[in-house]
Each structure stands twice: as structure tokens, then as C-alpha cells.
Structure 1
Amino acid sequence: MPHYDVLQVFQTGNMTLKKGKIVGLRDGDFLKIDTLLQTETTEVFLQGRRYRRTTKLADLKSARPNEVCWFEEMYLDESYVEDMIPLDHVVRVRQLKMTNKTFKELNISHMMKWPPTSKLYRDEGILFCRLKAEFTYESHAQKAKENSFSFVSKCFRSLCPAEVDDGFYQDPAVLRAAWQELPTTMDHPRRSTSTETLIGDKERLSPGVTTQTQSSPRHRYTFGDCFCGCGGMSCGAKLAGLEVKWGLDFNREAIRTYQLNFDGASCENASIEQFLNADIFNPADYRVDVLHSSPPCQSFSPAQVVKPKDFEDKQAAILAVNDLVKMVRPRVITMEETFGLLHQANREFFISVVSCLVDQNYSVRWKVMNFGEYGVPQDRRRVVLIASGPGEALPDFPQPTHTRNRTTIASTISIIPPGAPNHHPKEFLDPRRPYEANGSLQNLIACGGGLDNYHPDGKRPFTEREYACLQTFPLDYKFTGKRTDIIKQVGNAVPPLPAKTLYEEILRCLRKTDERI
């Protein structure tokens, strides 16, 4: 192993290199020098913090000139070795400002003193960093797989106060209030309703009851659920302590089920396009602290062979998230989708969502979670995204709760009492092969119940209530519709138990943030 001497300063040509200097590299990246090393043969190498133009990040689309991202890779097996940059890879010294101000408030056009051109911007203009990328891998071998599971988690987050340069800092409370157009989120009046809005229908399915507008208690955080289905995510949010304010879904039967379980919430039966464009929906009535948005995922499922008839509509729905966020302006956003969204054929849609959020100054974190590690008796892998708005801390993902003590089929369905709603066992005409009940389902619960999912004794199919319990819905959760309708609702739902764990972590982060104000 060669011996290195640490240099304090090194002069080369017209460049003076030392700790803290920013240099441009041949590969287009930039380096903030932390260490200068010289070998016995006088070769000089640099180590330090790497920055990358946002236009060059594969997980982010950006057209902002001279915007860079602090790029950091982490390996859980501690196999990371810091790059040694040869001196001849250095092109020129640059200026870089670390800021948490918005791009609209501070960018390269505000700082140039001569008539700007794209070349001058790129080659000599000040660089701005307001974003840090944190990509975590189990190992270099995992990263090399280059598939949906080739990382542990990825994150683009706004810089925290300690990372910002003097003179380029903005109080997070100011950023938060400006985005939400309110002094504080908790001062916003909350509308409490129990309605079902049916666009195009002359009558409501049930009478609307509206209570007097009043301010919510300061300790309650509100929740809205777009593409809510029968309410799996909302159920988890409610169990975690969030106040469910509204749900939106195009499926009429699903929204009926939703209304049965969330008293006081607005239940809107409409498409996302109708919700965003119809005059009957006042944006102020739908402001919430936490927004969940999980567009239909069948279009992106790796199991899909034939494209559904509404394939383009479902792809358009995921891109409508940008307009939805502008309407609702939540403090925190969550999204849950099939991991097929990360496959090469679908990644452009996911990248578009991430880019839209980052462009609106949200910090974004995502990973593939196995819901089986959070109490669901099946290996259900889903990509989950958390985003936090301007001035907000970015919540982390909760640690698994059932890594070793995995929930089993038997322990899940044995709690269902005889005569429970939606629990009327009927035997097969031809019994099937029995299997072990003290394990997990071999196949995912899907909108049709899942391939070859049946009771472990082989004598009968699962009842609707058993399917619901296997998706971790509480025993008292109500459903409406025929058997096929209920199974479809349950199969399309996010399991409430992992959702509860996720929102408990988000609530801890929100409360910690508010305690500082």
C-alpha cells in the first residue's frame, strides 16, 4: 500500500488547491476538497465531497442551470472506499453556494454581473446546491444488480440549517408558511363533513351532514387520501392518530365502503381529473397536513402481460400528482406502488413524480418495503415514497416490526369469530391440497383474491373477512358490495398495519418539528 503525505496547500498552474476549495472535474462533477494527498513519487490526489449537476442525475429530471446536488453513497457492509481523484482530473476552481432558499428566490440569474449566456453560466457562473442525494446500498454487489432491488433506499433532501452557507439561509418556518400560504399549518380552519359527492349524479347515495366549521385541536394532524379505494391507508393513518379528513376514489363501491368507516370525512366519488378541475371542489377545503396518493398500479405491475384498456389513463393519473400537491399543499406526502414502477420500462413515470416534487421544493425518500416485515402474512414488496414540504424535516422509514416473528395465516384468521360479517365459509366441490397454516401466503392477495389462495385445510376458499384480516384490516372494518366487489377492494388496498407503522414515524417527525417552533 503506497504511503501518502497530507498537503495543506498545492499550487498547480493558476490554481491554488486547499481544503474547502471547489473544483470542477473532467467527468462533469465537482469536488469540495477535504484532503490533498501526495505519494512518494509526487503524484497528487484529492478526496472530498462530490457534487453532480441535477441535469445528470439518473433519478431526477432537472433543467435548472448551475444547480448541483451533493451526492453521497453509503454501504451498510462498510465496503465504501472514498474516491482518490488524480490531479490531472481537475479542470478549474469554481464557486459554490450552499443554500436552503428556493430556486425562485435565489438562482444563477440573480448573481451574474455580465450579460448571461448558457456557456458562461455553465463554465464560470456560481454553482448552487440546495439538495443532497443519499443513496444507500447493502453492498457494491447489490448496487451492481441495477434492478428494482439494487438499493436499500434513495433520498433527495433539502439542506438542513447546519449545511447552509452564511448569508444564504432561510428560516424553515418562513419557507413552510410561504408554501402553505398560512401563518402556520395548525391555524388553518378544518372543515368537518360526512358527504359523498357523485359527479354526474342527481342524488347522493347518502345524505350529507355538515357540521359548523371550527379549528382543529393543535395536537391533531389531518390526512387526505387520493385514490383511497376502500381505505387501507386511511385506516392505518387513523390507527396511528391522524384525523382522516377526506378520501377520493373513482370506484363507487369502494367509496361506499370508505364512508362506512370514516365518520366526519368527506368521501368523494370522482376521478382525479374531475377532482382537480371541477368547480365544486374548493381547494381550501382539502388542505391537509399529510396527503397519501397511490394511483392505480396495475399498469406498472411486473405481473402484467396485457395492457388494460385504461392503461394511458392510469399513467396520466400518476403524473397528476404534481397538480394535486399544488392544490393540497401538504406538509408530508406518501405514495405506495408496485415495485414494477422502478423497472426500466416504467422508471420515467417514477422519475417524473420525484422531479415534480423536488421542483416544488419537497424532499423525497423512497425504498422497496416488504410488508411481510411489518405484520402482513405475505411477502408483499412495494415501493413506498415519503416527501416533506418546504421547511419540513424528512421522516425516515420505520424499522421492521416483524423480522423474526413473522405473522402467520393461522394466527391471523383464527381470531375471526363464527358469524362475523362477511364470514360465511362455503366448501369447494372438489377439495384442494392442504398446506401449512403456520406460515405466510404463497401468493399475493390481488384484486381477484390471488392465484391459488385458499384456506389451509384445502376444503374451501377464504371468506371475504379472512381476506380482509390477511390484509391486516381490523375485525370491525365494514365492507359493502358483493363478494367479488369486497375481495377486489381488499386486494387493491394498502394493508393498514404497515401504514400505521409508517404514519407513527411521520407523526413523530411532525411533532418534533412543531416543538421547535
Structure 2
Amino acid sequence: MRKAQKAQVSRQTWPTDVRRWGGPKVREASVASSCTLLGDENDEIIETDLIDLTSDQSDDGNHQILLEGEVAVSHLEVQNESIHIGDCIQVADTMLGKYKVNFVLVKAILRNNRGQKVARGTAFARTRCMHGKLPKKLNELCMILHFSGPSLRAQETPAFIDIPPHSIDGKRALIMTNALYPLHNPKQSTFLGFGDQATRMIAIEEHGTLVCRWKLELHLLSTGRESKVCEEVFSRLLPQEISERMYGADETEIRKAWRGETLRGGSWSPHHRRQSAVQSHTGENQRCRGQQYTLFDSFSCAGGVSRGASLAGFRVQYAVDKSPDVWETYQSNFPGCSLHRGSVDDFFRTVGTRQTKVDVLHLSPPCQPFSPAHTHAAAHDDENMFALMSCFSLLRITRPRIVTLEQTFGISHERHGEYLRTLINDFTSLGFSLRWKIVRLATWGSAQDRKRLVLVASAPGERLPPFPDPSHSDDDSQGLKPFNTIAKVLSQVVVGDDHHDLRGVRHHDPPKAPYPADRLSGTITTSPSGLYFPDGTRDLTVREYAALQGFPKHHTFFGTRTSILRQIGNAFPPNTVRHLYKHIESWLIEQDGMTAYRPRDDEVVDVEIERPRHIQEQRRQSRNDFTPRYEQATAVIGADTIDLDVEMIETTIIDLT
């Protein structure tokens, strides 16, 4: 048997003239279903050589397929077959990173600098070779695209792979489609003369038409000679990536099949108007007054995601959490939300097969089993594992357009790989496109130096949004805001704030060692014993912990101090959620072809709000009290304002005409 070869890769733009061998141009594909065929391929990891062509451009700025010194040739003769540009070839013993390459769509045939003839093109793998991340379907493929560069913004063109003649096993027919499985998949009736079913399956495997509905994007950040995957994307092919009309599918109809009718601009409206688009007085498709996208917050805890999403403009419609400790806290902050007080399993039994449809679903299943700090088995590990596996059922019940998920970055470690792969398969088996990466939350506004795995998914028929750009950085070189620091956050907490009981916290005499607070905090945990006030004189108050976690002042908590600290530590920081969800809201509005609601002149009301004079004086005095003690710890006074404390005032305009 031939030894698996190292795949040589070059970078180039998306193939624009993809052709089906032996027929017309090709088209794109979609989702998956059930039925496992043939065995899994053996996985092997071989380094991939990347050839950077970003500097090789034509006069019109397009990247060239050939490197300097390479010569294009008309065709390649292999096993009495002529290989041309546009052919799909079957290849043997070829790896691209950790994925086995089964097929290549030829984009160039050339003689390289060593005088060797090679076929250069885009790599494809059978879905059963995708490490369990895609449903395993007979003759279903996934395109593999590598992007590499010093930053994600610079990654515009994917890599090509070079195949020598001795690794080519002939040509195959390939269909590209965005239709859902099993449309266009080869029918067994085509091979009725091939004996029993097992023999027919082998015949289809070896000779049947191939179908590609998926692509995997691997985004690598390169620093010197090292490259590391920083973001992964599984997505269904898009209509514009399909060149043959007969293999295209209407994405609107695909979405309708998934969730029924969709109200553009948001499913919730105070006026309960159900038209798909609202014609504004300016002639544009404008959202209704008060119209919002709806959210289901699963594993909601004290409402970190719900708070961030509501600050971003979402209507928090449903939530579920099993912990009695958080129920009063959550319901008091979101009285209009339908909170299921019980486990997700209880919720499934309650709703049965009834759909609870929302625009966006958030998933925050318990992360303790996958945390890097979790080094031995615990009593609730099995229960927490079930919570992760329940995501599939939540998707089916809520039928969302967009899904967000956050988890400890430890789930991406190899020892937990099977759980992450199963989670990804839960999405792709329903036709969801998704992307995930480890996010340094400080770049989204958190005052903590904390990393989380964040996943964003889009339902069948929906476009997959990118991740939002960073809003903060540790320098001003990119024109971003500076990191929110301990100093900035604590300077916003003043005497009189809820849960800011200075007498009730432990004071240290003698004081602990002061520390500079013009920096990020460590991760706020459920029992944050190591963090204290910068001057070393006392522990932090509950409100200060909540502020460092990103909660605004008007978010209230109920329970003992221990219970509240656990509620705070388990939360996904609301100010980072706000950054993510503001981006998602803008994306949905754009995809819906809508514009934000703009009130008419006769609807505008000037509202003037003034705090009572004694409250103003109390807050001013508390800031004065804070400053001299804080200067003992650091020369930097966090006098800057912070987006963290956004007090939202909802004004209801009543038309009495």
C-alpha cells in the first residue's frame, strides 16, 4: 500500500467555474439526515505545506493559480484518462492536516519548479472522514478550505492542494448543491444489476455520483513559521456558489420548511402585527415601533445572557434553569419572561412535541466537566453531560434562526474532543451552519482576562453571521477602546448602590498587599476568594463582583452572599453578550432587508430626568471617598466611563388621538 503523502497547498480564490465531469456545470448542497454507510476512515495527522500566493497578482488584482517558474499544461494523462481543469479526481493516500482527502476539484494542471506534472485544486473529503462532525452519508462530500495569514482580516483566499499523477485514481462525477439531503444523492435503483444490497452499496461508493453540500473553513493565524487554527466553520454551500441552476434550491423555502413563516424584523411586536414586512412612511421596509427579535435563554442561571441580550435590544421570551437559587433573581429581573423552573429534561416533558419558536436560542450548558480545572469526577458530571447532549432537542423545539453557545475553552482540548464533535454533529445533522472559536472576552468589553469557546450557528435557509469585530484592545493601535480595567469598573460603584454593603464585607487589619488596578481582573469564579479591593483593606462587595462580571447596576440579586456570588460567577458576562448580540441584531435586520424604526416628528417626546439633589450629593461624596484610598494602590484612577452601566429607560408613548 502506498504511503500517505504530504499534501502541498497553494492559496487562491474560490473556484468560479466549477464543472461536473461528463456533464454541465456544478452546483451546491445542504444538510444531512440518518443512515451510516461503510466504515470510518482511519484518521492520520500529517503536516501541510502552504504556498502563499497573496503577492502573486494579475493586473486586475486577482490572485494567480501558478507560482513563479511554474508552467501551465493542457491536461494530464493518468490510467488512459485525460485530466482537465474542472474535472473531479479521486485521490489516494493524501492528508490535509488531520483530514483525509478523497477527491480534488482540479483548478490548474501545471509543471512545477521541479519539472513534475501535478493537478492543483480544491480538496474534498467524504463526510464520514470528518471526525464525526458531519452525518456520515454515502457519496456525500465536504469541501475543505484552509485560510492562513497574520490576521483574520487578511485571509481572503483559501489554499489549493497539489496532487501528483501516481495518487490519482480516476475521475468522478460531482454535483455541488445547496439543497438539503437527500436531494440529488445517487439512488440505489441506478445500480440494481450489481447483486445484493451490500454489493450495490460498494458500487455506488466506487462509481456513483458524488454530492457536496458542505464546506469546512479552517482559519489559521500564522506567526513566523507556526500556524494555529483560531476559527473553524462548517457551512452549507450558498446559492451564489452554485453554477448550475438545476442543483440550486430556494433558501427561503428551506427556511420555511425548518420553522414555518418568519416575521422579518423580529417575532415580537407590541402591536402584534403579523405582516412579513412593514412599509414605512419613507417607503422603506421599516421595523414596527417596539418590534424585537426574541430569545430563548437555556441554562439561564441569574440572567447574564438575558441581560446582555436585552441591553442589545432583544425580547427575552423564554428561559429555563434547574437551580432554585436563581429563580427569584431571574424572575425579578425579567418579569415578562416565561421561566421554566426545572431541568431541561423536565422542560421537554412539559412541552412535549409542541414548538416554542423564537428568533434566537442561547445555550449555556454546565461547563464544569470540561473545565481545565476539573481534574477528577464529580457527583453531577453525568447530569451535566446530559445537559450538553440536550442541545439537539432544544434546537428542534425552539426552531431558531440563530443560535449562540458559550462553553469553557477546555471542551476544545483533545481529551474532551468527542463531546465537542458530537455537539457539532447535533447542529449539522439538522442543516445548521456554524462557526466557533476561543474568544478573549476582554476584546469584547469584559474587565476579566478570560477565555471562552463561543459558537454561532444559523438555521437552514439562514446566512451564517461572522463573529463581531473586537471593541477593545490593550493598545490604541487599532483605534479600539482600551481594555476595561479593575480601576474603571470599581470607580463606577458608589455608596448607595444596591448590594454595595461596605460594612458587611470583611476588612483586613493589617491590610493585604495592595496591587495596581489599571489591569484586567482574573476570571470571576463562583467562589472568588483571591480577589480583594486594590488597596488591600477589604474584600469586594457583591456589587463590585457583579460589576467586574459585567452586570449593570439595575440587575438585582436574591439569596445569601454565597449563593449570589455563585450566580455571578456562573454568568456569561452581560457586557460581552451585549457586544455579540448587538452584532447579531444588526445582522438579522440586514438579512431581513429592514431598517430600524424611526418615529415620526409627532411621536417624539422630550424626557428630562434629574436625580434628587441628595442622591447626586451622595454619589459625588462616595467618589471623593474612593479616590484617596485608591491612589494608595495605583496611580491610575479609573475615572473613565464604561459601557458597562447602561441604564435603559423605556418610554411608552400612548396615542390618545
Give % identity: 30
The answer to whether the 8 Å contact 1:52/1:71 transfers is yes
The answer to whether the 8 Å contact 2:268/2:292 transfers is no
* Distance (Å, rounded) in 2 between the aligned partners of 1:132 and 1:41: 32
- Structure 2, unaligned stretches of length 5 or more? 1-66, 94-100, 276-286, 476-481, 596-657
- Tell me which of 354, 360, 384 is aligned to 1:283: 354
TM-fit CA distance, 1:513 = 1.6
- Tell me which of 174, 184, 190 is aligned to 1:112: 190
User: Which residue number in structure 1 is paired with residue 141 of structure 2?
Assistant: 68
TM-fit CA distance, 1:113 = 4.7
Specify the SS of the correspondent of 1:229: coil
User: Which residue number in structure 1 is paired with residue 122 of structure 2?
Assistant: 49
| Structure 1 residues 140 and 26: alpha-carbon distance in aligned structure 2, compared to 1, 3 A threshold | farther
* Distance (Å, rounded) in 2 between the aligned partners of 1:133 and 1:6: 28
What code does the residue aligned with 2:340 have? Answer: E
The answer to whether the 8 Å contact 1:396/1:505 transfers is no
Q: State the Cα deviation string for residues 455-485 of structure 1 (Å, max 9, x = none).
A: 1111111111001100111111111111111
- Tell me which of 505, 530, 545 is aligned to 1:467: 545
* Distance (Å, rounded) in 1 between the aligned partners of 2:189 and 2:423: 30
User: Which residue number in structure 1 is paired with residue 253 of structure 2?
Assistant: 174
TM-fit CA distance, 1:59 = 6.3
Q: State the Cα deviation string for residues 169-204 of structure 1 (Å, max 9, x = none).
A: 111100000000x23345997699xxxxxxxxxxxx
Specify the SS of the correspondent of 2:592: helix
* Distance (Å, rounded) in 1 between the aligned partners of 2:80 and 2:327: 68
TM-fit CA distance, 1:282 = 7.1
In the alignment, structure 1 residue 122 sits paired with structure 2 residue 205: yes
What code does the residue aligned with 1:131 have? Answer: W
* Distance (Å, rounded) in 2 between the aligned partners of 1:191 and 1:283: 22
In the alignment, structure 1 residue 340 sits paired with structure 2 residue 340: no
User: Which residue number in structure 2 is paired with residue 201 of structure 1?
Assistant: none
User: Which residue number in structure 2 is paired with residue 299 of structure 1?
Assistant: 369
- Structure 1, unaligned stretches of length 5 or more? 145-149, 193-211
* Distance (Å, rounded) in 1 between the aligned partners of 2:176 and 2:253: 18
* Distance (Å, rounded) in 2 between the aligned partners of 1:464 and 1:305: 29
- Tell me which of 288, 301, 305 is aligned to 1:233: 305
Q: Give runs of aligned pairs for residues 482-493 of structure 1, distance below 5 A.
A: 482-493=560-571
* Distance (Å, rounded) in 2 between the aligned partners of 1:69 and 1:462: 52
- Tell me which of 482, 491, 496 is aligned to 1:414: 491
What code does the residue aligned with 1:357 have? Answer: F
Q: Give runs of aligned pairs for residues 130-209 of structure 1, distance below 5 A.
A: 130-139=213-222, 150-164=228-242, 165-180=244-259, 182-186=260-264
Specify the SS of the correspondent of 1:346: helix
The answer to whether the 8 Å contact 2:265/2:589 transfers is no
* Distance (Å, rounded) in 1 between the aligned partners of 2:564 and 2:110: 66
Q: State the Cα deviation string for residues 311-336 of structure 1 (Å, max 9, x = none).
A: 01101110110111111110011100
TM-fit CA distance, 1:82 = 4.0
Q: State the Cα deviation string for residues 66-124 of structure 1 (Å, max 9, x = none).
A: 11111001112389874322111111101111111111444233783535622112211
TM-fit CA distance, 1:40 = 8.2
What code does the residue aligned with 1:175 have? Answer: I
User: Which residue number in structure 2 is paired with residue 5 of structure 1?
Assistant: 71
TM-fit CA distance, 1:166 = 2.5
User: Which residue number in structure 2 is paired with residue 223 of structure 1?
Assistant: 295
Specify the SS of the correspondent of 2:187: helix
Q: Give runs of aligned pairs for residues 436-447 of structure 1, distance below 5 A.
A: 436-441=516-521, 443-447=522-526
User: Which residue number in structure 2 is paired with residue 478 of structure 1?
Assistant: 556
Q: Give runs of aligned pairs for residues 247-266 of structure 1, distance below 5 A.
A: 247-266=319-338
* Distance (Å, rounded) in 2 between the aligned partners of 1:173 and 1:243: 24
* Distance (Å, rounded) in 1 between the aligned partners of 2:421 and 2:551: 32
Q: Give runs of aligned pairs for residues 394-413 of structure 1, distance below 5 A.
A: 394-403=464-473, 404=475, 405-413=482-490
Q: State the Cα deviation string for residues 339-393 of structure 1 (Å, max 9, x = none).
A: 0011111111111010110010000100000101111111110000001000100
User: Which residue number in structure 1 is paired with residue 515 of structure 2?
Assistant: 435
User: Which residue number in structure 1 is paired with residue 339 of structure 2?
Assistant: 267
| Structure 1 residues 38 and 277: alpha-carbon distance in aligned structure 2, compared to 1, 3 A threshold | same
Using structure 2 for the length normalisation, give the TM-score.
0.70
The answer to whether the 8 Å contact 2:299/2:364 transfers is yes
In the alignment, structure 1 residue 509 sits paired with structure 2 residue 587: yes
Specify the SS of the correspondent of 2:446: coil
The CA RMSD measured in Å over matched residues stands at 2.6
The answer to whether the 8 Å contact 1:137/1:153 transfers is yes
The answer to whether the 8 Å contact 1:230/1:489 transfers is yes
> Structure 1 residues 161-170 or 467-476, which shifts more?
161-170
> Structure 1 residues 350-359 or 262-271, which shifts more?
262-271
Specify the SS of the correspondent of 2:420: helix
What code does the residue aligned with 2:368 have? Answer: Q
User: Which residue number in structure 2 is paired with residue 196 of structure 1?
Assistant: none
| Structure 1 residues 504 and 189: alpha-carbon distance in aligned structure 2, compared to 1, 3 A threshold | closer
* Distance (Å, rounded) in 2 between the aligned partners of 1:236 and 1:384: 15
The answer to whether the 8 Å contact 2:263/2:274 transfers is no
| Structure 1 residues 114 and 511: alpha-carbon distance in aligned structure 2, compared to 1, 3 A threshold | farther
Q: State the Cα deviation string for residues 422-456 of structure 1 (Å, max 9, x = none).
A: 11122434432111111111x3111112x511111
- Tell me which of 322, 326, 346 is aligned to 2:392: 322
The answer to whether the 8 Å contact 1:75/1:139 transfers is yes
The answer to whether the 8 Å contact 1:50/1:72 transfers is yes
| Structure 1 residues 233 and 142: alpha-carbon distance in aligned structure 2, compared to 1, 3 A threshold | farther
* Distance (Å, rounded) in 2 between the aligned partners of 1:41 and 1:347: 40
* Distance (Å, rounded) in 1 between the aligned partners of 2:225 and 2:436: 17
* Distance (Å, rounded) in 2 between the aligned partners of 1:65 and 1:504: 41
Specify the SS of the correspondent of 1:122: helix
| Structure 1 residues 236 and 59: alpha-carbon distance in aligned structure 2, compared to 1, 3 A threshold | farther
User: Which residue number in structure 1 is paired with residue 616 of structure 2?
Assistant: none
Q: How many residues align?
A: 488
* Distance (Å, rounded) in 1 between the aligned partners of 2:419 and 2:328: 30
* Distance (Å, rounded) in 2 between the aligned partners of 1:142 and 1:479: 50
- Tell me which of 352, 362, 380 is aligned to 2:432: 362
The answer to whether the 8 Å contact 1:188/1:215 transfers is no
User: Which residue number in structure 1 is paired with residue 463 of structure 2?
Assistant: 393
* Distance (Å, rounded) in 1 between the aligned partners of 2:456 and 2:585: 12
Q: State the Cα deviation string for residues 275-321 of structure 1 (Å, max 9, x = none).
A: 11225x6733x210000011011111001123220101101110110
In the alignment, structure 1 residue 308 sits paired with structure 2 residue 378: yes
Specify the SS of the correspondent of 2:178: coil
